[in-house]
Structure formats: C-alpha cells, structure tokens
Amino acid sequence: MEHSKTFQSKKVHTDHGDIVLEGPLSSVELQAFNFHEQLNAFRPADRQFIALQEIADLKEGRVLVARTNTMIIGYVTFLHPDPLERWSTFNMENLLELGAIEVIPKYRGARIGSQLIELSMLDEMMEHYIIISTEYYWHWDLKDTKLSVWNYRKVMEKMMFAGGLVPAPTDDPEIISHPANCLMVRIGKHVPQESIQQFDRLRFLDRHASHSQRKGY
C-alpha cells in the first residue's frame, strides 16, 4: 500500500493571536521549529519532539502541528498501532491509530485539537484508512482541567467527532476495564469490505478466540 501524504495548511485566529495549522510534516521540516516545553503529557518535551520526528519518518506516519511563528504549541500524530497492542494483530496496512494529540494549556478551549484533526482528514488518502483512537481515562489531564471523568470524555468525543471518529464497541480488555474508556473509529469511504470485516474481527478478538476454542480449532 502506498502511503501518500498531501500537505494541508490553514490559519486560525485565537484570543492569543494567529495560529498556523499544517502537515503532515517531515522530520526535517519539524526541526525548523521549536517545541514548547509544556508539551510534556507523554514524556519530557525534548524527548517527545524526537518521538514526533521519528513518527514523521515512518512510511505511514503523519504529524500535523499547530504553531505560533516558529513555536509548536500543539500536534496530532497518526501511525500504525504499536506491535504490542491488539490492534496490530492482523498487521493491517490500512489501519492507522491517532497516536497522540496535545495542546499547551494556554490554547485549550480554542478548538486547536479539533481543528488539527479536521485538517488531517482533508487529505484524500485518509479515505483509504480505518482510523482508530483508543481513549483511556488514565491518560486524561483531569488534574489541570478540573473536569470529571465523564465531562472529560465528552470533550474527547467532541474533538474526535470533528474528524468523523465515532464510538465503536469492542471487547478489548483495557478499554472495557473502565466505563469511561472507549474506542473511536473512522472508516474511510474507500476502505474495502474485506478490511472492514477483518477490523470487526479485530474489535472482538477475544470473542472470536473463545468461539474458536469451543469449536476445537
């Protein structure tokens, strides 16, 4: 599968000035910018910036950023699921995971995250992918936002809705371990039916495994 990437860009106005949203960017293009120190939800900012550059260099990897002049203040990433996760079980070339999305506190409430996701979907290539996002409450910034688990989930769902991702059932143990967790999914209009069926088996992998064991496979 050819993972073509078409650059998209837009300018948005916020209470703190104009922001440029753009991508997907290559690692070389990312290196032209600075990375805000508050982008540290997943690891220290300097290490996260290196991680983004590594994702950008993957054949399927996509990194879109929000920036003020040369300072990156937000980003979203897409890549194949981690090999240790259930979602990589069938090695589906047309399955991408929204791996991370982050915006510094100053710009939260300006819909930067939602607009980054919206922008990423303007690339026609995204219609050839099944895109997932696994939402786990323990990754959410409940402390700084002072939101309840359920209100934070509403915020995350609204952000994902902006890109066409909707909740989908699954028997994945991590997701069903807490009722606030959820799987969000977007199936592109050019995804073949056999891939959709394979993804349905993937969503209920434990159910299919139990069924096979009962039948003696």
pLDDT tens track for 133-160: 999 998 888 887 889 999 999 999 999 9
Residue type, 136: Y
Phi-psi region of 130 (alpha: psi -120 to 50; beta: other; left: phi over 0): beta
Q: Which CATH architecture has domain 8-215?
A: 3-Layer(aba) Sandwich (3.40)
What is the distance between the alpha carbons of residues 203 and 91, in angstroms, rounded to a whole number? 14
* Cβ-Cβ contacts under 8 Å for 17 (sequence gap 6 or more): 68
Residue type, 165: L
Domain ranges of the chain: 8-215
Maximum Cα interatomic distance, the chain, rounded to a whole number of Å: 63
- Average pLDDT over the chain reads 94
Dihedral Cα 39, 44, 47, 51, nearest 10 deg: -50
pLDDT band at 130 (very low <50, low <70, confident <90, very high): very high
Q: Is pLDDT above 80 for 209?
A: no
Query: pTM score, two decimals?
Result: 0.93
